[in-house]
Chain A
Amino acid sequence: MIQILILGLLLGGVYALMASGLTLLFGVMRIVNLAHGALMVVAAYVSFFLFTELGIDPFLSLVVTMPTMFLVGVVVYRWLFTRLEGTDRYSEMTVLLTFGLALVIEGLLGYFFTGIFRSTSPGYATNSFIVGDLFIPRGQLYGSLTSLALILGLWLFLNFTKTGYAIQALTQNRTAAQIVGVNVRRVSTLSFGIGMALAGAAGSLLSYLFTFFPGQHWQWIALLLSLIVLGGLGSLAGAVVGSLLLAVLAAFVSNWLGSTWSPMTFYLALFIILLVRPQGLFGEKETV
């Protein structure tokens, strides 16, 4: 019982990292990034090859994946999204745009790296700490701690720096932020980069926590989107709480019904939350 709880919480920490980038993008720019999962998988491939070719530990490769993905984010934002600014139904257009992007990435990954299931295997990935009669998998513990550290860093950045305030201002009201002198385009680009950097970090962790292959990103994105709808689109706290909650729930479901059905937890939770509280746990009622 407690064992399952621990495993669920450890996974939940990593999910929270993945979801935080996604919810940040939605909160700041109303972009639902369907390519988030695909870009995570890209980062996982980077980590994989750094590990197999150069023997670089996945944690060390964070130093590479995060800045790289930050740059990718900046370029993608400037190159694709600024063109759509000002179109009506911006939010839906961005969904379709990132949908196309995800397909392109998936196809390219499949073409270059084939559909083989891969995973890095540093020593700690398979061993555990034993505490009493409980075991705590080392790899997952490290992953979870790193994730929480990054999320804490993001939170501190948002709440204690000027740029962080600017990002929050954009979340609340774009036009008003512009009026009080926030450089909307610069801050948006920056947030997109940060969101992507978080996806990059998540990808590095993913490379040893899970096996991955090109087409897998749809499962990831559906899971993550369920998490952030549950938490309330755009809410960082919601993303974290939603991740921990659902990861624990999924751990129990997988214990009862087998791991095949654990993704179902996320999808069903999404439908239930839409029935009961469409705006999500931490979301505010939509104002038009």
Chain B
Amino acid sequence: MIQSEAPDHAPLEVRPRETRRSRTVFGLILLAVLILLPLSRPLIGGPFNYVMQIVTIALMWITLATSWNLIGGYAGYISLGNNVFFGIGGYVGGTLLVYQGWSPFLTAPLAGLLGMAVGVIVGLITLRTRGPAFIIATIALLLMASLVFDNWDLVGGANGLSLPLPDWPRQWVRVPFYSAMALTALASVLLSWKVAHSKLGLGLRALAQDETKAEVLGINTRRYKIIAYALSAALPAVAGSIWGYFLTYLRPSVFFTISIAAQMVLMAIIGGRGTVAGPVLGAVLLVGVNEVSVAQFGSSELNIVVTGAILLIVLLFFPLGIVGSLRSRRRLPGFLDWD
């Protein structure tokens, strides 16, 4: 066929200046809110710690969903076990605190590096397959990790490990966690943006569409995939380290459950996988939905039903997610167009 085929997506459009400006303005506003929030104690008053907590949780999910998007969105390799790295980070930070007295805030980068290293090793094995077999391997990885941590006496087995409480003044106790989580979330979004705009991101999106063709074009797909997988492991491990300290206990059921994996995937898909803003939007939305649904139903069982049902609806009716659907209709507001 000589006649040239139409590309499946419109060529990169040159964005009008106002789009870029509205995006910058929106970003700056968000940043300002994040910085000013911890100072707003006199303004918010009583519920201050609650607000801090909710925002910290949202920031954690932003980190998890955005990191998942690196492998699950850009590369199109759906991983249903990426919370393994979240858990590993939690346990690295927690055990070093208990046995060595090192603060998880300081050891969080270490946790991130370790998470990345585990990601490379796991990726070397699981990324040998693609499609369904890869997804299966990631589920097995998750159950394997939960089995190991359930039976590892050094870290308390299934009963877990209590961490010493930080001795900070009560009214400010949430702020360090908040700040650390905010930095982590910010780093993950910047990483996601950076990847999207790099040769790596281009290669990943190429192999997501047709791996064989990408390979023929000279992309070292294996290397690209492993890098993406390792990057998607790093920041969740950092977040895990902070989160464990925040909860003041480590337990396999906090980190290694399938429902955490489900939430990560769901957030990225709802927002729009393969986009920078999508997972962030999805995380914020779902944290809100969870808050309401727990308050309404009060039971974790119905919460699981809600998670599953939303996943079904989104897959059947908006498989591109919010950002993706809006973009394909050219209705995406400029401030949400972060790609």
Contacts and interface: CB of A to CB of B under 8 A. Distances in A.
Whether A and B are associated in the same complex: the answer reads yes
B130, B136, B312 — most chain A CB neighbours (10 Å): B136
Interface string A192-236: 000000000000000000000010001101100110010001000
A102 B305 CA distance: 9
A179 interface: no
Interface string A259-282: 011011011101100110010000
A176 interface: no
Prevailing SS type, chain B contact patch: helix
B305 A111 contact: yes
Interface residues of A, number: 50
Nearest to B311: A100
Contacts of B80: 99
A96 B311 contact: yes
Contacts of B136: 32, 225-226, 229, 270
A34 to B, nearest CB: 8
B143 A103 contact: no
A213 to B, nearest CB: 12
A149 interface: no
Nearest to A96: B315
B249 to A, nearest CB: 21
A270 B137 contact: yes
B257 to A, nearest CB: 9
Contact of A275 (B125, B301, B302): B125
Interface in A100-159: 100-108, 110-111
A225 B125 contact: no
A271 to B, nearest CB: 6
B22 interface: no
Contact of B140 (A26, A83, A214, A270): A270
B302 A264 contact: no
Nearest to A228: B136
Given A100-B309, A107-B301, A267-B144, A274 B125 contact: yes
Chain B interface size band reads 35 or more
Given A97-B315, A103-B311, A274 B144 contact: no
Contacts of B265: 96, 99
A92 interface: yes
A87 interface: yes
B307 interface: yes
Contacts of B131: 91-92
Given A26-B132, A32-B132, A103 B308 contact: yes
Interface of A: 26, 30, 32, 34, 80, 83-84, 87, 89, 91-93, 95-97, 99-108, 110-111, 214, 218-219, 221-222, 225-226, 229, 233, 260-261, 263-264, 266-268, 270-271, 274-275, 278, 286, 288
Interface of B: 76, 78, 80, 125-126, 128-133, 135-137, 139-141, 143-144, 147, 150-151, 212, 258-259, 262, 265, 269, 299-312, 315-316, 319
